[in-house]
């Protein structure tokens, strides 16, 4: 489940989440604090499992946590911001 930001992408953490900048297009993608935490877990080679992270922080089912992580991965991939390691 580990991912890398593509070379043209810059990640900046903010007080309310994070912003991804696609340097090729100039488009910004804003993430809330939950998506920020999941993204950092996905980017960290030895970081926490993003699904377990959601289960620990929120009262959600495992199925919901899996779906949310998969949805974020899919959106970031479709926007050409990340690649699977």
More reliable by pLDDT, 85 or 15: 15
**Residue numbers of the domain that contains 69:** 3-84
For 55-79, write each residue's pLDDT tens digit: 999 999 999 999 999 999 999 999 9
Strands 82-84 and 3-5 turn out to be antiparallel
Contacts of 69 (CB under 8 A, 6+ apart): 1, 38, 42, 50, 51, 54
Cβ proximity of 61 and 54 under 8 Å: no
For 40-57, write each residue's pLDDT tens digit: 999 998 888 999 999 999
- C-alpha 47/C-alpha 27 separation (Å) is 28
In the chain, the number of structural domains is: 1
pLDDT of residue 1: 65
């Amino acid at each position: 489940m580990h991912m890398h930001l593509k070379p043209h992408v810059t990640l900046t953490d903010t007080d309310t989440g994070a912003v991804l900048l696609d340097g090729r297009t100039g488009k910004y993608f804003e993430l809330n604090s939950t998506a920020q935490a999941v993204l950092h877990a996905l980017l960290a080679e030895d970081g926490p499992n993003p699904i377990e992270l959601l289960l620990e922080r929120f009262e959600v089912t495992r199925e919901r946590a899996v779906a949310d992580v998969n949805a974020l991965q899919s959106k970031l991939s479709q926007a050409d911001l990340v690649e699977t390691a």
